[in-house]
Amino acid sequence: MDHAEHHREPRQPSLPEIASRWIWSLPVVIEPDPLEELDLPLPLRCLLARRGLTHKTQAMEWLEPKELPDPLHHFPELFDAVERVAKACENGESVAICGDYDADGMTSTALLLRALTPLGAKPTHAIPSRTQDGYGLNAGMVQRLHDDGIRLLITVDNGVSAQEGLELAHELGVEVIVTDHHTIPDQRPPMKALIHPATTPPESPYRGLAGVGLAYVLALVLAERLQRLDVIAGARDLFCIGTVADMAPLTGANRLWLQEGLKHLHQSGCEGLRALQRLAGLGDRALKAEDIGFQIAPRINAVGRLGEPRLVVDLLTEANADAAMGLARRCDDYNRQRRDLCDAIEAEALALVEADEQRLPPFLLLAQAHWHHGVIGIVAARLVERYHRPTALLAGEGQGRLRASVRAPIGFAVDAALEQCGDLLERFGGHPAAGGFSISAEKVSTLHERLNVLADGWLETQGLGIPVRPEVLLGLKEVDWDLWAALQRLEPFGMGHQAPLFWARDCEVVHSRNLTGGHLRLVLQQGDVQRGAIAWRWDASTPVPEHCDVAFRVMVNRWQGEQRLQLEVKALRHHSSSIGLKRGEQRYVAFLQSETEFILRNNRGQEILATVVNGSQLQCFDPLASHPQVKTLLEEASLGLGLRP
């Protein structure tokens, strides 16, 4: 066992839900401080070290990324692609941009339309309808584009596995440049060139690019080739939106370009983005990745889910401010409709779960013919967050078939599970965290049985609670504007670099109130310091203990021109002055003796006294403390008792 399992002492009987809802796992001990010379508060230095940045040089390169290498040296077919598009620009050719109906695909399409037009080409967009065409490039689209005189087609965020469409294009003499980040099939279809992260060197900073990142690379190198960098001035803005919306990992090129782009995004020259920002009430301040994720991206994605994705492309290429605002309002209307649909479907789904008096199944599978295909994935993700179970929501597709969206917690591989059930499915696909499939209604019960078996085996290794993995101990008095300023140096946060999850011990709940929308507002006190807190989508049946340990993120609450720091609560547990540790069959208990001292006791009653000095250094004069296992137990006990970050 790499580190001790932390177990709470027996609780009061009135708090069983708190005990069972979350499973806390505390971080490893960092000793000594490897980043002591770094100009950051100790908790954030511990955070970076726990995330693998254990040397100052590493950390500084993360905080201030270096310039990127020439993409022509990393994408083997990029040169051929750029030369072909440059020829199209010089000759005024018509070029079709085939995107996808999610935010990544729509921003990618708009990016290339905005870049190619001033360079001399005549680009047009070809985005499939979610309901009529399905995903990505298809033979019907290729035929229509060929009949319209298109001889060069660029896919964005799709195309690498469009076997039928690419073969037809090859037969018709339509050259296709594929920019995509989805899995490359074993047998690659014919294409003029492929721009794909998997074709770059293993340690390439371009490995994490989403579709919009690949479109940006193509536009950037093309503009350099034609000596017209001025034409892609707004491309970085669309890159930021699509990258965050697609939850691409914020590492390498994504991190650097997003860092730079967010500084200017609120002053974008794209009238459509400015209109969306005004509707979202984001004001004139510099934007954060979370502003994109929670305010802008949903307004874009809602159109692809419920309406016609051409609306978003028109919005993001519109030059007139008034016209852009009109288009943005239509996107906003779709987003309100999307929220209402999600809330209604979620309420139905929860009612179905609660109506089943048997125990919660390992795999949640719920079906209603009238549910909307475009939003069931969002609701499935909400149920995963609530129940920590892999979840599939199925909606009617007609002719006795159902279409599903699947979401799962980290560790359960959706794509592998669907592969094992492939004989029951008509179509399926996805990646470890999400997927989808179509199935005949009469096979749903058999499918659920098989998925339950797969999920049950996974749950046996996970436990029944929701895992909570705070990274750093933080006292409420340390949550101040200096900490907030230091946190800004670590941004942007997102996939691959999440906002830090802190934890605080022994907080008194001096006030709690349920809010409209299922949220919970709290006032927490630790010593003589109080901090406001919010728990989004709180289960009202879960009791709030009077004294608790709290896992939280730090956020700013902006309201009526004022800004206040606030805790965003992720989990609570009843506070205990002692913690349990386990090594195999051996059990230990550690409890505080004073503000800096604690005692570690084994199951035979033997005790060791230890002290934490200077807030981080463990000190123990007992000879047993030199034993590696005892030393590790003492280190973990000191962390679990809140004596060190």
Q: What is the pLDDT of residues 341-384, one digit of tens each?
A: 999 999 999 999 988 767 889 999 999 999 999 899 999 999 99
pLDDT of the residue at 25: 85
578-597: average pLDDT: 87
Q: What is the rounded CA–CA span in Å between residue 457 and residue 454?
A: 6
Q: Where in the chain is the domain with CATH 3.10.310.30?
A: 356-465
Give pLDDT tens digits for 311-344. 999 999 999 999 999 999 999 999 999 999 999 9
Yes or no: say if 62 and 35 are a contact pair by the CB < 8 Å rule: no
Yes or no: say if 178 and 193 are a contact pair by the CB < 8 Å rule: yes
Above 70 in pLDDT, residue 9? Answer: no
> What is the pLDDT confidence band of residue 386, given thresholds at 50, 70 and 90?
confident
Q: What percentage of the chain reaches a pLDDT higher than 90?
A: 65
Q: What is the rounded CA–CA span in Å between residue 357 and residue 345?
A: 20
Structure tokens at 197: 């992260």
Give pLDDT tens digits for 557-569. 887 778 899 999 9
pLDDT of the residue at 134: 61
Q: Which runs of consecutive H residues, i.e. helices, occur in 117-234? A: 139-147, 163-172, 211-225
> What is the pLDDT confidence band of residue 6, given thresholds at 50, 70 and 90?
very low
pLDDT of the residue at 486: 95
482-495: average pLDDT: 93
149-159: average pLDDT: 94
pLDDT of the residue at 11: 31
Q: What percentage of the chain reaches a pLDDT higher than 70?
A: 95
For residues 585 and 80, the model is more confident at 80
End-to-end CA distance of the chain: 22
Above 70 in pLDDT, residue 13? Answer: no
Above 90 in pLDDT, residue 19? Answer: no
> What is the pLDDT confidence band of residue 186, given thresholds at 50, 70 and 90?
confident
> What is the pLDDT confidence band of residue 274, given thresholds at 50, 70 and 90?
very high
Above 90 in pLDDT, residue 444? Answer: yes
Q: What is the rounded CA–CA span in Å between residue 362 and residue 458?
A: 9
* CATH class assigned to 356-465: alpha beta
What is the overall mean pLDDT for the chain? 90
288-307: average pLDDT: 91
pTM: 0.86
Q: What are phi and psi of 127, to 5 degrees?
A: -105, 125
Above 60 in pLDDT, residue 17? Answer: no
Give pLDDT tens digits for 231-254. 888 899 999 999 999 889 999 999
Structure tokens at 124: 């047009």
pLDDT of the residue at 135: 65
Q: What is the rounded CA–CA span in Å between residue 573 and residue 19?
A: 7
> What DSSP string describes 454-513?
HHHHHHHHH-SSEEE---EE--GGG-SHHHHHHHHTTPPPBTTBPPP-EEEEEEEEEEEE
62-71: average pLDDT: 92
Q: Where in the chain is the domain with CATH 2.40.50.460?
A: 32-51+471-574
> What is the pLDDT confidence band of residue 10, given thresholds at 50, 70 and 90?
very low
Give pLDDT tens digits for 36-45. 889 999 999 9
pLDDT of the residue at 604: 87
Angle between the N-to-C axes of helices 297-306 and 271-279, in degrees from 0 to 180, rounded to the nearest 10: 100
Q: Where in the chain is the domain with CATH 3.90.1640.30?
A: 71-334
Among the four given CATH numbers 3.50.50.60, 2.40.50.460, 2.30.30.60, 2.30.42.10, the one describing domain 32-51+471-574: 2.40.50.460
Q: What is the rounded CA–CA span in Å between residue 596 and residue 598?
A: 7
Q: What is the rounded CA–CA span in Å between residue 145 and residue 98?
A: 10
pLDDT of the residue at 133: 58
Q: How many CB atoms lie within 10 A of CB 243?
A: 33
**Record: fold of 71-334:** inorganic pyrophosphatase (n-terminal core) (3.90.1640)
